[in-house]
C-alpha cells in the first residue's frame, strides 16, 4: 500500500480509503468489523463515514455506521493508527430527520459532539460538509435549471461556517476540514474566505463522484485542486458497482445495491451501459479485472489523494484492495481515453 499526504496537512493516508456507507443496513456490525480488520491488515489507514450513514437513509438507522466504527475502535485500540473522516449532513429532503437548518454554528457544534460520541473518539481527523446548503446541480444532475436560482433561499454564511469550524479545531475536536458534492464556485468561496482571513481553516479535500463513468471533476475542479492544493477523495469510483461488470447483459444479481435499490440508477442509463461495455472489453483484451482497472486509472490522476472504495462482501473488498498494486500500461490508458472520447461522462 502506498500513501499520500492529505493536502495541506501532516497526515499520511493510504491511496485507498475504506468507505462504510452500507454498514448498518446492507452489512451487519460483524461484517463491518471483518472489513475493517482486513483493510487495516492490508495497510489501509483511512476510513470515511458520515452521520447520515447507512444509505439509503432511515431515521431509525441514523448514525449507526459511526456506531459500528466506534465499537470497533473501542475493541482494538487502534485509533491513533488511523485517519478518520466523517461528515455533517447538509439540508436536503432525505436529511430532515437530522436537521432542517442547514449549517449553523449550533448545528455544527452539536453534530461534531454526536459524531465523537458515536465514534468513541476524542477527535476527528477530517470533518466534511456533506452537501452545499444552497441550490446547485450536485448529486447526479447534469444541468443547472434556471429555476434553482429563483427558488434559492440560501444566504452566504461561509465565513460563519469556517469560523465555527475553526473554533472546533482550536478545541481539538476536529483537525482538518473538507467539502463534499461541491462545485468549483463553492470550493473557491471557502478558499477565498481563508485567504482574506488566514485565521480561518483552509479546505484540505473535496469528496465528489469520480469514475470512468463520471469524469466531470476534470472540467473545473481539477484546476482548483492543482492551483489551491485541494485533494480529491473520489467516491463511487465503481459507479454503484456498475464498473464491476456484474450488471452487464441486463443482470440483476441478488443482494446487489442497484438490485435492492433500483432508484439508484445514476450509473445505469443506456449510454453508461454502453460505456461500461467498452471498458469491459478493454479489460478483457488486456487480461485485467474491470473493477481493478477502473480503480487503478483514478490513481493516475495527480489531483486524487485517496480513492474511497466500498464493498458489501469480502470477495469484492479483496479484489478492490488488490487494485492498489496494479499499474496500467500506456496502451490501456490510451484505450480508456478513446472510450471516454466516445462516451464522455455518461453518468453525471
Residues 6+ apart with CB under 8 A from 159: 193, 197, 200
Q: Could you tell me the three cell numbers for 311?
A: 464493498
Q: Which of 28, 111, 17 is nearest to 309 (CA)?
A: 17
**For residue 124, what is the enclosing H or E element?**
strand 124-129
Q: Could you tell me the three cell numbers for 12?
A: 499520511
Instruction: Please answer whether residues 305 and 231 qualify as being in contact, where contact means their C-beta atoms are separated by less than 8 angstroms.
Output: yes
Q: Residue 328 — φ and ψ, nearest 5°? A: -80, 140
Q: Report the distance separating Cα 176 and Cα 204, nearest Å.
A: 7
HEC per residue, 46-62: EEECCCCCCCCCCHHHC
53 among known catalytic residues: yes
Respond yes or no on whether the N-terminal peptide bond of residue 56 is cis (omega within 30° of 0). Answer: yes
Q: Catalytic one among 3, 53, 297, 343?
A: 53
Q: Residue 179 — φ and ψ, nearest 5°? A: -120, 165
HEC per residue, 16-77: EEEECCCECCCECHHHHHHHHHHHHHCCCCEEECCCCCCCCCCHHHCCHHHHHHHHHHHHHC
Q: How many residues does the chain have?
A: 348
Positions annotated as catalytic residues are 53
Amino acid at each position: 500500500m502506498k500513501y499520500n499526504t492529505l493536502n495541506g496537512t501532516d497526515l499520511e493516508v493510504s491511496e485507498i480509503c475504506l468507505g462504510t456507507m452500507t454498514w448498518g443496513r446492507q452489512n451487519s456490525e460483524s461484517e463491518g468489523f471483518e472489513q475493517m480488520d482486513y483493510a487495516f491488515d492490508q495497510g489501509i489507514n483511512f476510513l470515511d463515514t458520515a452521520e447520515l450513514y447507512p444509505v439509503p437513509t432511515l431515521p431509525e438507522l441514523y448514525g449507526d455506521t459511526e456506531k459500528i466504527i466506534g465499537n470497533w475502535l473501542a475493541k482494538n485500540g487502534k485509533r491513533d493508527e488511523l485517519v478518520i473522516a466523517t461528515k455533517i449532513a447538509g439540508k436536503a429532503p432525505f436529511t430532515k430527520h437530522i436537521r432542517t437548518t442547514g449549517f449553523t454554528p449550533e448545528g455544527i457544534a452539536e453534530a461534531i459532539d454526536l459524531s465523537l460520541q458515536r465514534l468513541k473518539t476524542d477527535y476527528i481527523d477530517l470533518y466534511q460538509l456533506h452537501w452545499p446548503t444552497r441550490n446547485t446541480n450536485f448529486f447526479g444532475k447534469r444541468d443547472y435549471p434556471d429555476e434553482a436560482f429563483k427558488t434559492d433561499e440560501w444566504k452566504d454564511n461561509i465565513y460563519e461556517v469556517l469560523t465555527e469550524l475553526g473554533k472546533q479545531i482550536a478545541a481539538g475536536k476536529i483537525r482538518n476540514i473538507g467539502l463534499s458534492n461541491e462545485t468549483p464556485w463553492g470550493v473557491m468561496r471557502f478558499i477565498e474566505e481563508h485567504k482574506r482571513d488566514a485565521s480561518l481553516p483552509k479546505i484540505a479535500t473535496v469528496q465528489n463522484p469520480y469514475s470512468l463513468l463520471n469524469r466531470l471533476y476534470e472540467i473545473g475542479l481539477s484546476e482548483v485542486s492543482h492551483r489551491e492544493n485541494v485533494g480529491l477523495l473520489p467516491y463511487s469510483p465503481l459507479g454503484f458497482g456498475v464498473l464491476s461488470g456484474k450488471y452487464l447483459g441486463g443482470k440483476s444479481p441478488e443482494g446487489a445495491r442497484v438490485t435492492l435499490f433500483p432508484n439508484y440508477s445514476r450509473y445505469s442509463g443506456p449510454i453508461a451501459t454502453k460505456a461500461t461495455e467498452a471498458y469491459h472489453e478493454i479489460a478483457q483484451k488486456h487480461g485485467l479485472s474491470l473493477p481493478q482497472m477502473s480503480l487503478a486509472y483514478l490513481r493516475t490522476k495527480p489531483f486524487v489523494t485517496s480513492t474511497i472504495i466500498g464493498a458489501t462482501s469480502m470477495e469484492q473488498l479483496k479484489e478492490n484492495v488488490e487494485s492498489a498494486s496494479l499499474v496500467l500500461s500506456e496502451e490501456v490508458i490510451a484505450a480508456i481515453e478513446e472510450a471516454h472520447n466516445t462516451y464522455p461522462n455518461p453518468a453525471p
